[in-house]
Each structure stands twice: as C-alpha cells, then as structure tokens.
Structure 1
Amino acid sequence: MHFNRRTFLQASAVAVPSVYLPQVTRASANERINVGFIGMGVQSRGHMYGLLNAENVQVVAVSDVVVARREDAQKKVNAHYEKKAKGTYKGCAAVNDFREIIDRKDIDAVVICTPDHWHAIPCILAARAKKDIYCEKPLTHDIAEGRRIVEEAAKTQVIFQTGSQQRSEFGGHFRKAVELVRNGRIGKVKTIKIGVGAPNKPCDLATEKIPEGTDWEFWLGPAPERGYNKILCPEGIHNHYPAWRNYREFAGGGVADMGAHHFDIAQWALDMDNSGPTKILPPANNALMGLKLVYSNGVEMIHEYQDKAPHKDCVFIGEKGTIYVSRAGISSDPEEIVKTPIGEKEYHVYPSKSHIGNWVDCIRSRKPTICPAEVGHRTATICHLVNIGYQLHKNLTWDPVAERFDDAEANKLISREPRAQWKI
C-alpha cells in the first residue's frame, strides 16, 4: 500500500500502512537507511509515521526546539521499534539542535519540516555532510537561498526531494492535468489561473512570555530578533498548521504556502521546471489579488482566488478548451478533454504514487526524484516573485537565467542577511 497526504494528517494519532516504494531499486536495496527528523510539527509527524513502517528504513533521531514535541516523537518512535526489535533496537535520540543529527556519521538522510525561514541552513549543512534530503515546501524563504541549496546539493550529489506532493499524490488529478496540457489537448495555453491565499505581511504580533521548554532564540534562528508569540510557535504539541506562514519575516503567506503546490503544477505543465516568467505585473490600487506573471511565450499566469466551484485551484485556459484541477478532482470544458485517454506513445509524466516513497526509492537507486532541488527552487521563486510584486506594487522584469530583476529595489529582496550567528 502507498501513503499520501491524507494518511500523513491522520498519522498524528495512529500509525499508517507501509510506504509505497516505486519499482526501481538497486543492489543495495537491502541496506537500511537511517533517517533523522528536523522539526516535529504536525506535517513532520505524518512523514515520520509513514517512514516507521517503510522497509529497511529506520528513524534514529528527532529534533525540535520544543521539548514536548521532540520527546513525544522520541517516545512514539521507540514504542514502534521496541515491538519489532527483538533485542537489537538502540533507541531514538531526541535533540534540540539539528546540527547534532547532521553531524552523525550513521545517519544517511534527513527530513526537514521546519518553518520556511529554517529550510535553507539545514539543507545546506546536510548537503555538505552528504545526507540525502527531503525538505518541505516551499523550499526557501528567499530566492538566493534556493540557488545556494541547488549548488550545494549538486556538489555532493545528494538525493533531494522538495515536498510539493501534488506531483505524486491526490489521486493523480494534477498529473493527469499536466499530461493533458503537455499533449496539446487544450491547444496553445493562453492563461493559467491559480487560486491561493494572500501574500505575506510584516509581523506585528505582540510579545508574550516564552513557555517553559521552548528555545525561542533557536526558533528565530536566522530571522530578525523579536519577542515570542504562540501564533508563531505554539506551546507544546499541536495538531494544526501554525500561522508563522503568514508573516514576511518567516514565510511567504498563502501565496507560498499553497502556491508551492499549485504554482508548481503550472510550471510543470508549461515545461518550465528550469525557468520561469519574465514579467511581474501587480494589480492597481495596491490590491492583494490579481497579480500577473507573464512568460516569454506570452502565457499569463494570474494569482486569482477562484470561487468554491469544484476543481478551480488550477485552471488552464487554452485555444481549444479549459482544464480545471484541484485535490478534489479534475474536469474540463468541453468534457471530452478529460474523458479522452492519453495514448501509450503520448507524453507521460515521471511515474510516482508516493512522494516520500519516491525519495526513499531514489536514495537506493541514486536517480533524480520527481521534485529535486532545482525544481523546488524554481517553484519557490514563483512564490517569491509574486510576493515581491505585491510588496513593491510596480511592474518588474525578471531574468530567469541570471535570476535578477531590472530594478535595484527589487534586487535587494532577492536575499536577506541572516543574523550574524547563522551566517554559513
């Protein structure tokens, strides 16, 4: 059986069936992969439960800046393996500082599920230590971080998977949409509409007392110094997705949170995994919806919240018809577009039914994953371009090769200087 995001979300309470591993394996498939987890929130727990039941994979360490979270994860890992170990299990380590996990020679791979501002540093350090990496989406907090991750991963040839799971899961709806577009079912693509949330905003939350057992200074890490607030870092164990994702200092707002999924599918459908748009056109009157991204071939991609009608998270409008796709399903106008099978000799996307399963399989085969670092970086860049467009509210030209704007003010937003102790 395979597991998917729904399984992950359910897994915070119960264990899940074994991970689905794709077909291709290599001679070393019987070697155990030791995995460490960096960040133990709700998303991470889902991944953890899946890997606990994966064949020849063992979770050996967890880290989190909140004592309760890491100790709870440690307890669950130990309880799982003690039932199966028959005297051979040595226990799961639980640490505050993720660098202790990266420094361990016996750990082969890491799963990074931290807030967005804490993605780049663990990725870079893990790549330098030759650990294979699964990093949650969006890959980065800013554009420059993404290019650094790509370069570091390439140097050591680590297997890298970005957590844009719609490429693998959710019933294959997004995969089918991409194949239909790439095979010309709607003719030349004219417009894409992406329905995701608002851009990020400055953090104006009040300062609260730091709970016992929370290392707030470490949680901030490279981000600007500010006081604790439970909206950013909930006390203890929680079962929701915290709202740090709304604030510019830590993440990319709704644009990046779900945009890392939906913009990713648009890039895939346009065969732009190694490139991106060239124009950013914000809406008038400082509106926070309606920004357009224009590609060199004339395709316009619009950040536009869709109504609640089915399948309108990603809308592909072409000369011959329209495709609507969401996690709930896929439809088209005319209906025949989605009803017509894709032929054996037509274009088919990279086969994958489990995103983290694909990563595990590629660790063994040493083949590229379905969403490697370059792809994750390019998708995150789309999110950053949208946020920068809304922040500056002026038309911009972007060079996807040089990864620079035609505007000095915009170029300053490509990167952010981390706090001194976190420069690497």
Structure 2
Amino acid sequence: MNKSRRKLCQLMATGAASLLTPWPLRRAVSDDFRSPNERPVVGCIGTGSRWGFREDGMFKGVGSFAMEFGDVAAVSDVDANRMNAAALKVRDLQAEAGRPSDVAKEADYRKVLDRDDIDLVTIVTPDHWHTKIAIEALRAGKDVYCEKPLTLTIEESKQIRKAVEETGRVFQVGTQQRTESSQGFLKAIAMVRDGRLGKIHSIKIGINGAPVSDSIPKVDVPDGLHWERWLGQAPLVDYRWSPKTRDAKQYWNYTNCHYDFRWWYAYSGGKMTDWGAHHVDIAQWLINQNGDGQGPTRIEPVVANHPVPLNERGEPTDPTRYNTADRFVVHVDFPNDTQFRIGSEFRNGLLVEGTKGRIFVNRGALEGSPVEDMKSNPLPDGAVEAVYGGEPTTHMANFMQCVKSRKTPISDVASHVRAINTCHLGNIALRLNRTVKWDAAREEIIGDELARNMQGREQRKGYETDA
C-alpha cells in the first residue's frame, strides 16, 4: 500500500453504493473496506462488456466491482468509444459517492502503468493481450486482477507464472467459480474431500459448442477503434463485420473483434478456453491436480469438428469465418486412473463419478444421491471453509483483502495456468486431430515436434511479450 494512496474521507452512502455495484457485492463488503481506511487507486485496462457495459445498458462487471473497494483513477482502451463511456460512468458514480471523480483516459495502457499513484490494475482485454499487459503491470509494481483465460499459449503460461514469482505481487485471475457466488462447486469439492463419492475415476465436463458464422466481409474500421493496436501480437488482417441475424436473441454482430474474438484462434481458444477455464479449473482442483508438477499425461481427440478447414499444421485456411472448434470431445488422462471427458456434447457443468456414487454440479445445480444424503448426514462444520481457505466471499472482495494482507488470492496464477494448459493441450490435439502426450513435470509435449511447437506462437514485431 504505497503512501500516495487516497484516503476514504467518508463512509459510502447507501444510495451511492446501490448505484455502484450489484447487490451480491454490497452485502459482501468487509468492515475493513467500509471503515475510513486507505482505499487502493485503480487503473482499468480494457473497458468492454466484461468490464462493465452490457448491450442492454446495464453497468455490471469488473469495473463496477472494483469501484466497491477502490477509486478508479484511469481507464484505458484502444476503442475510444468504450473508453469515453467508461470514463463518464466512473466519473459520475464516484462523484455521486463523494469520491475522486477526476478520471484520466489513456489510449496507451502503458501510461496507466507509468503512474506511481496507481496501486493495482484490472485487465479486461481480449485473451491475446492478457499476458503481455499483466507482466508489464507486475514489473511496474502493480497488483493485478486479470480476466480469464490468462494466457493464449502454454509458453505464455510459463512467462506469467515466472513474473509473479519474481515480483511477489498479488494476482487474482477472473475464475469466479471459486468464490461465494458459486458455492455449489465448493460444496462438491468438500463432498469429495469427505469421501462421499469414494475414489474419483472420471469427470465429464460440458462446456458447450462454439458458434459458427457465414463468411464475414471486410469493412472499414469503425471510428475510434485503433485496429492495428487491438490486433497486438496477432497477424495484421482486415477488420470484418456483418449483422448477426441467425438468432435474434444474440446481442452481438459477426466480427473478428470485441466480444467475438473468442471464436478465432488468433486471439483465443474458443469454448475450450472460454468455459474450460472455469470448469477444467474446478475439476483439477477437485482431484488435486493443480499443484507443482501435476497435470494430465495424455490428451486424445474423440470428436474434432471445425467450421473451416485446417491445414496440416492445424492452422485455419479461411480468414473470413469463425474458426475455433464448434463440436468437440477430448479424453484427458490423469495420474491415478482418472479421466476427464471435455466436450460440447455434454450438459454444461461437471458430472463427477466415483466408486461410491456420482454428482452433477454447475452454476445452478448440485444434484445426485450423495447430495440428497447430506440432508440426514451433513458435511462436517467448516468443510466448505477448508476448501476455500477461509470464509467464502466474492471474487473482488477476496482480491482486495489479499492486496491488504499480501496473501495469495483464491484464483492464483500457479493453479490457473495448470488448468488452462490442459485446455491449450486439448486445442492442440483438436487442431492436429491426434493424441498428444504431456510431461507435466517438464511442461512439455513429448514425441511430437509439431505439437510441441504449438506450445507457443510467433508474435508480431513490436508486440512481443518480454519474458
């Protein structure tokens, strides 16, 4: 907590608090943050949908959560339209709460990192920007909250973990299923720890299929969007956009930018890393495979369907359409005869099977005979707290508490990269449509030079990650 941190002059008014954050966070704020202690100064890098603005106009996301605990002093985005709207929202809400309302707008995120008065940053950008910005923020002495998936490649996973170890900064990854808002997952893990399912032998992980698109035409870049900078490390390509008419309920248009970056391998990993970052993380936590030297041994593609042809190197050959796998199933072997089946063909969530029974858990359900049995035989007192490492709270509250205590947050980098590496390996197997073998201790694909080369990728000059 550096000496330039602003002090909270008065207790946040109830009305202002209701404007700032959704109700689950308001009830989760600890006394430490309600009292007139020093509040962290926050810089927000990336101000799109996950940061706060939804297409229905609601302001709900990382930005609103950050303002519950800190004072946002700067926002940054390569889309000036989003950045200007974010600055106005922050200014108005913080002024209403009687807090600092002078909000800087920086098209270049590095100017946010250069400010000595900013204590921590939120990073809510497309996936291909996460690691570079996060490493630079750590080295600038900032604590970091970064959306998932944290990395684009296995090589980036090594780089970001090394930077955290070297700098000792507090880093929370945005895998919110580990927190209070998703206690069904914590209870599921507590049940396994208490032996309710016996020895776990398989987990079926449903993460939905990715969307497909027709050919998307190239069009002029919208005013205010710095397209070349948005592309960053990815190849320099045309901007594409067309209206989305396939499903009237969809908010988003077809594009290779903003929300739809998820469906292009140049910027993301499709559903495998989008939902996989959540569910595979919980599954590896559940079977105690998120520690040093742990991880899968073999990844086999069973269903590998892509909406565009891939060449022999697993590279998409059609630059006009979404290209991440739309239908897929991979079998992932772990030590101790445990197997994950990860795919688009299953109900979203985790079906956990053991020698004594099975349960299903997702964000809205915790089902199965062992769950029913808990009515007459509840878990021991403190079982969920033992899984979490204390009293479960909201994700941003946990991060801010760790900023003060310097403890490791619940969604730490080390465990996250082991889970997201499983997802990266799944995508490599899908793109090559062949089995991949993994040495978890060395963090290296074995016996397949092409697959091993896909652990990293070439980065466009000027946008390389400085390891």
Q: TM-score normalised to the size of structure 2?
A: 0.79
Residue aligning to 1:50: 65
Paired AA for residue 86 in structure 2: A
Superposed, which structure 2 residues align to 1:14-413 within 5 Å?
A: 15-17=21-23, 19=26, 30-45=37-52, 46-54=61-69, 57-85=70-98, 89=100, 91-198=102-209, 205-230=216-241, 242-274=259-291, 275-283=294-302, 288-305=327-344, 313-339=349-375, 340-344=377-381, 348-350=386-388, 351=390, 352-406=392-446, 407-413=448-454
Contact 1:24 1:361 in 2 (8 A): no
Which 5+ residue runs of structure 2 have no aligned equivalent? Answer: 1-16, 53-60, 244-249, 253-257, 307-326
Moved more, 292-301 or 166-175: 166-175
Structure 1: distance between partners of 2:124 and 2:443 = 26
Relative to 1, partners in 2 of residues 1:202 and 1:247: Cα closer, same or farther, differing over 3 Å? Answer: farther
User: What is the deviation of 1:79?
Assistant: 0.7
Contact 1:135 1:162 in 2 (8 A): yes
Residue aligning to 1:6: none
Relative to 1, partners in 2 of residues 1:278 and 1:338: Cα closer, same or farther, differing over 3 Å? Answer: farther
Structure 2: distance between partners of 1:245 and 1:382 = 18
User: What is the deviation of 1:216?
Assistant: 0.3
Which 5+ residue runs of structure 1 have no aligned equivalent? Answer: 1-10, 233-237
Q: The residue matched to 1:42 in structure 2 has which SS?
A: coil
Structure 2: distance between partners of 1:393 and 1:203 = 24
Q: What do residues 90-117 of structure 1 show as CA deviations (whole Å, max 9, x unaligned)?
A: 5011111111111111100011110100
User: What is the deviation of 1:334?
Assistant: 4.7
Structure 2: distance between partners of 1:388 and 1:259 = 14
User: What is the deviation of 1:250?
Assistant: 0.5
Relative to 1, partners in 2 of residues 1:418 and 1:174: Cα closer, same or farther, differing over 3 Å? Answer: same
Structure 1: distance between partners of 2:338 and 2:181 = 26
Structure 2: distance between partners of 1:332 and 1:58 = 44
Q: What do residues 164-211 of structure 1 show as CA deviations (whole Å, max 9, x unaligned)?
A: 100004341111111111222110111100001347999974322101
Paired AA for residue 149 in structure 1: I
Structure 2: distance between partners of 1:376 and 1:262 = 11
The root-mean-square deviation of aligned C-alpha atoms, in Å, is 2.8
Structure 2: distance between partners of 1:415 and 1:290 = 23
User: What is the deviation of 1:336?
Assistant: 3.5
Relative to 1, partners in 2 of residues 1:187 and 1:73: Cα closer, same or farther, differing over 3 Å? Answer: same
Q: What do residues 379-424 of structure 1 show as CA deviations (whole Å, max 9, x unaligned)?
A: 2111101111101111121011111011111111101121110122
Q: What do residues 357-391 of structure 1 show as CA deviations (whole Å, max 9, x unaligned)?
A: 10011000000000111112112111101111101
Structure 2: distance between partners of 1:314 and 1:265 = 9
Structure 2: distance between partners of 1:294 and 1:253 = 22
Paired AA for residue 120 in structure 1: T
Q: The residue matched to 1:242 in structure 2 has which SS?
A: helix
Contact 1:161 1:373 in 2 (8 A): yes
Relative to 1, partners in 2 of residues 1:285 and 1:110: Cα closer, same or farther, differing over 3 Å? Answer: closer
Paired AA for residue 462 in structure 2: Q
Contact 2:217 2:242 in 1 (8 A): no
Relative to 1, partners in 2 of residues 1:130 and 1:21: Cα closer, same or farther, differing over 3 Å? Answer: farther
Relative to 1, partners in 2 of residues 1:199 and 1:270: Cα closer, same or farther, differing over 3 Å? Answer: farther
Structure 1: distance between partners of 2:330 and 2:66 = 39
Structure 2: distance between partners of 1:284 and 1:104 = 49
Q: The residue matched to 1:420 in structure 2 has which SS?
A: coil
Paired AA for residue 250 in structure 1: Y
Q: The residue matched to 1:252 in structure 2 has which SS?
A: coil
Q: TM-score normalised to the size of structure 1?
A: 0.87
Contact 2:304 2:431 in 1 (8 A): no
Relative to 1, partners in 2 of residues 1:239 and 1:38: Cα closer, same or farther, differing over 3 Å? Answer: farther
Structure 2: distance between partners of 1:249 and 1:326 = 29
Structure 2: distance between partners of 1:344 and 1:180 = 12
Residue aligning to 2:461: 420
Q: The residue matched to 1:62 in structure 2 has which SS?
A: strand
Aligned length: 400
Structure 2: distance between partners of 1:123 and 1:15 = 25
Relative to 1, partners in 2 of residues 1:300 and 1:203: Cα closer, same or farther, differing over 3 Å? Answer: farther
Relative to 1, partners in 2 of residues 1:269 and 1:104: Cα closer, same or farther, differing over 3 Å? Answer: same
Relative to 1, partners in 2 of residues 1:52 and 1:334: Cα closer, same or farther, differing over 3 Å? Answer: closer
Give me the identity figure in percent: 34
Q: What do residues 74-102 of structure 1 show as CA deviations (whole Å, max 9, x unaligned)?
A: 001111122233xx735011111111111
Structure 2: distance between partners of 1:230 and 1:15 = 33
Structure 2: distance between partners of 1:138 and 1:47 = 15
Moved more, 297-306 or 203-212: 203-212
